Structure 1
Amino acid sequence: MSDIITSDAGYDPLALTHAMEGIVVRGNQRKYVQLGRTLRFYGGTTSATEVGCNLRCKFCFSDKPVWKPATTGQFYTPQQVFDGLASNARKYGHSTISASASEGTLGRQHLLELLDLVEQSEFVYILETNGMTLGADPDFALQLAKYRQLHVRVSIKGCDEDEFHRLTGAQRAAYALPFQALDNLIRAQVSCNACVSVSFSDESAIHRVKQRLLTVHPGILKSLELERIKLFPKVRKRLARYGLHPNKPARRVA
């Protein structure tokens, strides 16, 4: 399905997927920075820090894991990742585990083997994804359908094609992929929800993206997250370089 994103200016996220996997995936191993830190999300969760992404969002909080994947992190097996996550989660009483700071679907074999381990545990795994690969490949969603202890959070970058292109530099047509990902996941009966980055969107644009989401599934707005960026110092500098300014005040982080 990569032929759906060949006509617009900008890079192809699916081509970048393959390029990044060549850097951060080695057999069933994937690169990570660390394997278990405590985060406040989901009422308290343990997350690993992945390396490698197939988008280059100008507002991204991640630093070296996205921008310098070749020189960041080290390779770990699914068992090593699970052990690191489980150890921290059990220490702090977390029921959910995840990986963040990059794209969660890079390295499909690694992910599926990790989910096999989660399935035998007491945890729920939150798969954080921008939906590029899951939108391009319905079979990927079908492979995830067997996992009962999985929830997929699909993050949509902006409220329309032009905003997506402005924020990520990717081809405008790729904006359709996270919506297709949600459709693929829902059809496969995989637990999922949508999240939309709205820091650069006005109310009319937010309304339009909600209407578009309704065409995917009538109940999808019940779990919709509207996400606003945090202005870390490097994020502020990067946004200034591109002349981008959040529409509503974002929390500054020193």
Structure 2
Amino acid sequence: MPEKEAAYYQALPDGLVLCTLCPQACRLYEGESGRCRGRVARGKKLYTVNYGRVSAVALDPVEKKPLYHFYPGSLVLSVGTVGCNLHCQFCQNWRIAHDEAATEQVSPEQLVALAVEAREQGNIGLAYTYSEPLVWFEYILATARLAREQGLKNVLVTNGYLNPAPLKELLPYLDAVNLDLKGPDAFYQKLCGGRLTPVRKTAEQLAGRVHLEVTNLLIPGENDHQDAIEDLVVFLAGLDRKIPLHFSRYYPQYRLKIPPTPLATLEQAYRLAREKLDYVYLGNVADPKYSTTYCPRCGAVLVERLFYGVKLDGVKNGHCAACGEEVDLIQ
């Protein structure tokens, strides 16, 4: 598939090209690629080199994203490219984010056709995930428009490191987002090569406009102290206390060899968050009580989850079957 001129860049007087898609603001010489590896400067213009490049496609449970309040028990056709605009030392998908991974060319039309065909298996739409999808901006925008025309849902699983203008353009085509809020600003600088403020701005831009859930991977000694957890919880509660928060258990990956997160740390984070947020979960933890959705009013079980098996027995016509409280679930 031929390279396409990128959106969001400026040609500078000194011959450099400035990428304005994300806060990294890469200033590129002729032939140079941005930090995300998805955009290259040529002839005082910026071009995408990842358009249509697909590294992975799978029909996943929507809970795997993780999204617990968006069509529970459904499947979503999940797709990823290569590259990322952050460089997290603990990256779980580093082989496609930072290495040279095999890809196939798939046009937006072909991908949407696959998603439509997968409806027979219970597919609700497309999830842009695995690597960082926002560095695939032009392809996602084109695909999401076509998917919306076919009545498909568009799901984004992202680090949120995007400037406000491109997010505003993409937002009308998004139905649900799982946003990774990784930790304090010092954590972003030390382990991710980024900053916290742009991600919080993304959260603020998304809240109330799409279905939003947040993931926080807790890493021992780095972002698991009480102050960091309380700061995250207060921020989310200030946006909407109904935003589901997923604390995820860390295991050594890529360049970070710290031992796995103790269960006690995750349980303490869970208790702290439940004081201000209605829906809190623990990921990469076997105990099903931490993946169960409870009614914020009466505490009754609304949704039971065992791995990716889902039981919705506690929800009747969008309300808690026990007390009648309206349930914050999209079904």
TM-score of the superposition, structure 1-length normalised? Answer: 0.73
Report if the CA contact (8 A) 2:177-2:210 is conserved. Answer: yes
User: What is the aligned partner in structure 2 of residue 205 from structure 1?
Assistant: 228
Q: Please point out which of 84, 87, 102 is paired with 1:72.
A: 102
Alignment partners' CA distance in 1, 2:85 and 2:179: 14
Aligned-residue identity in percent: 17
Q: How does 1:30-45 map to 2 (within 5 A)?
A: 30-39=52-61, 41=63, 42=67, 43=73, 44-45=75-76
User: What is the aligned partner in structure 2 of residue 179 from structure 1?
Assistant: 200
Q: Which amino acid aligns with 1:202?
A: H
- Structure 1 146/162 Cα, relative in aligned 2: closer, same or farther at 3 Å? closer
Q: Please point out which of 85, 103, 114 is paired with 1:54.
A: 85
Q: How does 1:99-248 map to 2 (within 5 A)?
A: 99-133=128-162, 136=163, 138-147=164-173, 150-158=175-183, 160-168=184-192, 170-171=193-194, 174-186=195-207, 189-200=209-220, 201-215=224-238, 217=239, 219=240, 221-229=241-249, 231=251, 235-236=252-253, 238-240=255-257, 244-248=258-262
User: What is the aligned partner in structure 2 of residue 6 from structure 1?
Assistant: none
Report if the CA contact (8 A) 2:53-2:81 is conserved. Answer: yes
Q: Structure 2: which 5+ residue stretches go unaligned?
A: 1-22, 27-32, 41-46, 68-72, 264-282, 286-331
Q: CA RMSD in A?
A: 3.2
Q: Please point out which of 112, 115, 121 is paired with 1:82.
A: 112
Report if the CA contact (8 A) 2:90-2:254 is conserved. Answer: no
Structure with the larger helix share: 1
Q: Which has the larger radius of gyration?
A: 2
Q: Does 1 or 2 have the higher relative contact order (CA < 8 Å, sep 6+)?
A: 1
User: What is the aligned partner in structure 1 of residue 278 from structure 2?
Assistant: none
Report if the CA contact (8 A) 1:141-1:190 is conserved. Answer: no
Alignment partners' CA distance in 1, 2:115 and 2:86: 25
Q: Which amino acid aligns with 1:211?
A: V
Q: Which amino acid aligns with 2:196?
A: Y
* 3-state SS, counterpart of residue 60 of structure 2: strand
Alignment partners' CA distance in 2, 1:230 and 1:104: 22
- Structure 1 84/13 Cα, relative in aligned 2: closer, same or farther at 3 Å? farther
CA displacement 1:123-143 (0-9 Å, x = unmatched): 21111111111xx2x222321
Alignment length, in residue pairs? 222
Report if the CA contact (8 A) 2:82-2:98 is conserved. Answer: no
Deviation at 1:178, TM superposition (A): 0.9
Report if the CA contact (8 A) 2:38-2:135 is conserved. Answer: yes
- Structure 1 36/84 Cα, relative in aligned 2: closer, same or farther at 3 Å? farther
The answer to whether the aligner puts 1:98 opposite 2:127 as a matched pair is yes
* 3-state SS, counterpart of residue 123 of structure 2: coil
CA displacement 1:8-60 (0-9 Å, x = unmatched): xxxx7443866522279348x23211333334524333211322111122222
- Structure 1 19/125 Cα, relative in aligned 2: closer, same or farther at 3 Å? closer
Alignment partners' CA distance in 2, 1:245 and 1:13: 30
Deviation at 1:115, TM superposition (A): 0.9
Q: Structure 1: which 5+ residue stretches go unaligned?
A: 1-11
Alignment partners' CA distance in 1, 2:180 and 2:97: 16
Alignment partners' CA distance in 1, 2:200 and 2:115: 30
Report if the CA contact (8 A) 2:213-2:244 is conserved. Answer: yes
Deviation at 1:230, TM superposition (A): 5.5
Alignment partners' CA distance in 1, 2:213 and 2:34: 22
